[in-house]
Chain A
Amino acid sequence: MLNTIYRLVAPRRFEIAFQDISLQGDEVIVRPTHLSICHADQRYYQGARPAEVLAKKLPMALIHEGIGDVVYDPQGVFKPGDSVIMIPNTPVEKDDVIAENYLRSSKFRASGFDGFMQEHVVLTHDRVVSLDPSIDKVIAAFTELVSVSMHAVLRFDRFAHKRRNIVGIWGDGNLGYITSVLFKATFPDTQLYIFGVSEEKMSSFTFADATFNVDDIPEDLLVDHAFECVGGAASQSAINQIIDHIQPEGTMSILGVSEYPVPINTRMILEKGLRMFGSSRSGREDFERTVALYQSNPEIINYLSNIVGAQVPIRDIKDMNRAFELDNQKNMGKTIMIWDK
């Protein structure tokens, strides 16, 4: 079958391409319905990646956060019309120790190969997770991002020592918000402090126990463990601020992506005996845990609805450009493309 793919060929320019899909294979064919724009997509769209990266990666279909409806499953595991979440991480080998999202051989949608901006997406069964019809699809669209926070919270539980009286989350953007929501749902007894720059954004963190402006943190304030959800140019100041305000032997979970190497205060990491670990992307288990959490803690969906920004119906390439431009202008929130291709 001739499948239509909408690839970014150059900054701000999408073009149509076609690819033959075999119906004789074992894979599930999913028709995307709701796609969510991530910073990583926006960086490709704006051409804000180094020229050699763009030259290597483009043309490529963007988007790695999305849901869709099954249209064809030769194995009959899914029925046509079933709502599913698509997993962008695509492992090519199995490892009993290393998680699928850290295997260097794994491919990732809209980074190593075509993302979800397609008429149909072909996925193996293990890259598809059932979505209960009761879950709001606009929110479910960015489950991938939620699963990244879930992954980081699960890793925190694995690595952090048992004193968890106060945990700090640096970052008041989408990732900081989602990680905070999930953390509080998972560890309701831990005092959760938020460290950000925008009073307005931080006012949405109503479930947190306290919020602090990063320019005005009390000197004697200390947290047992911390998450960094800042990234970009502010990574350096956020990480060093965490090092200053964390108790000895605390863990620091790093989630923010920086395009450049970040100088940090390693002397104090040594002196305090800190444990720093990275968290990136997510795997099937994280998606399943996230969906289970949607069911067990329905208030999560309400919290997540606070960060839904523009919803843009997509009928043609003009609409795709409009969605990315709107997303670029926004202060916070997720832009969702209602995919009608």
Chain B
Amino acid sequence: MVFGVILAGGVGSRMGNVEKPKQFLKIGGKPILIHTVEKFLMHDSFQELIVLTPTEWIEHTKNLLKKYLGEEGSTVKVLKGGSTRNETIMNSIAYIEENYGLDDDTLIVTHDSVRPFLTYRIIEENIKYGLQYGACDTVIPATDTIVHSEDGKVITSVPDRSKMYQGQTPQTFGAKKLKELYQSLTEEEKEILTDASKIFVIKGEQVYLVEGEVYNTKITYPYDLRVAESLLNDQKNGK
């Protein structure tokens, strides 16, 4: 069984002086989260879609789903997020385990709610390679040179750019495996390993690369919101 897990746990601390977490801000007159959920609704392979959000925003999220997506919106499960990204993912796995049970074929496609520009193909390939390899991560080749510095003052090394990629989401994992790996971490390791793919890699598991899109960006700063809005306004130029 495949589950869509949309991470809307962020409170938008990087977004400047806005009243709402960034996933609830609108682009093209619709909340970013709704745009993202709609992309997942296009796939019929998902057993259930799960949105994880801070406790105080749960009712708001449910109302938005109902308002913008009607009946379809009511089928989306809204759960409380955790204190970290991984804890949030663990909450979704706990829900799946309780309601469906976990086996080796239980797959979760996790995605940042603030990446509404993802495509059908990206989700499709995440499911495909997730089922085939057990884990995959969406990336694009790095366009800027990446510089590695140990102390933040001088360059330690300059890795070969052709081997560097920028991580996006979705990230897809076998839920049972991820739970086992996460539980095997010490509290200290959990603090450092904020990215679920990294847990797999560190534990010697293979994570397959899925080709992302340059425009599958994360809306993090007010600048990103302006870019997203102007991308969408392009439609006015279409004939």
How far, in angstroms, from A60 to B239 measured CA to CA in the complex?
A: 6
Size bin of chain A's contact surface = 20 to 34
Binary contact track B33-72/A, C-beta < 8 Å → 1, others 0: 0010011011110000000000000000000000011101
B238/A7 in contact, CB under 8 A: yes
Binds A, one of B95-103, B112-120, B131-139, B197-205: B112-120
What mask results when residues 97 to 132 of chain A are scored 1 for a CB within 8 Å of chain B, else 0?
Answer: 000000000000000111000011000000000000
Interchain CB contact (< 8 A) of B120 among A16, A71, A81, A114: A71
**Interface set, chain A 267-315, CB cutoff 8 A to B:** 315
Indicate whether B234 reaches chain A with its CB closer than 8 angstroms.
Answer: yes
Are B42 and A2 within 8 A (Cβ)?
no
Residue of A nearest to B44 (CB): A80
Q: Are B239's CB and A113's CB within 8 A? A: yes
CB interface residues, B 1-52, toward A, < 8 Å:
28-30, 35, 38-39, 41-44
Tally of chain B residues near chain A (CB < 8 A)? 28
Residue picked from A2, A21, A24, most chain B C-beta under 10 Å: A2
Known interface pairs A2-B35, A2-B232, A71-B42. Does A120 touch B239 (Cβ–Cβ under 8 Å)? no
- Please report the C-alpha to C-alpha distance between residue A42 and residue B116 in the assembled complex, in whole angstroms: 33
Across the two chains, which residue of chain B brings its CB closest to A9? B237
**8 Å CB interface, A5-30 against B:** 5, 7, 16-21, 23-24, 29
B161 touches A (CB below 8 Å): no
- Does B142 reach chain A (CB closer than 8 Å)? no
B221 at the interface (CB under 8 A from A): no
**Cα(A322)–Cα(B63), bound, Å:** 46
Q: How far is the CA of A57 from the CA of B238 in the complex (A)?
A: 9
Q: Are B239 and A31 in touch, CB under 8 angstroms?
A: no
* Cross-chain contact A4 with B119 (CB below 8 angstroms): yes
The chain A residue sitting closest to B32, CB to CB, is A2
A315 interface neighbour in B68, B211, B215, Cβ under 8 Å? B211
Of A2, A58, A80, which is within 8 A of B239 by CB? A58
Q: How far is the CB of A41 from chain B (nearest CB, A)?
A: 15
A341 to B123, CA, bound (A): 11
Is B231 interfacial (CB-CB < 8 Å)? yes
- A16 contact from B35, B43, B72, B215, Cβ within 8 A: B215
Looking at the assembled complex, report how far the CB atom of B90 sits from the nearest CB atom of chain A, in whole angstroms: 29
**Contacts A18-B232, A341-B119: A114 and B42 contacting too (C-beta < 8 A)?**
no
Q: How far is the CA of A24 from the CA of B35 in the complex (A)?
A: 13
Chain A window 317-341, contacts with chain B (Cβ cutoff 8 Å), 1 for yes, 0 for no: 0000000000000000000000011
Please tell me if B157 contacts chain A, counting CB pairs below 8 Å: no
12 further A-B contacts with Cβ under 8 Å, apart from A20-B28, A59-B238, A72-B42, are: A1-B38, A2-B117, A4-B119, A4-B215, A17-B231, A18-B234, A23-B41, A31-B120, A59-B237, A119-B120, A315-B211, A341-B119
The residues of A with any CB-CB pair to B shorter than 8 Å are: 1-2, 4-5, 7, 16-21, 23-24, 29, 31, 56-61, 71-72, 80-81, 112-114, 119-120, 315, 340-341
14 CB-based A-B contacts, threshold 8 Å: A1-B41, A17-B231, A19-B238, A29-B42, A31-B120, A56-B239, A60-B238, A61-B238, A71-B42, A71-B120, A81-B44, A119-B119, A120-B120, A341-B119
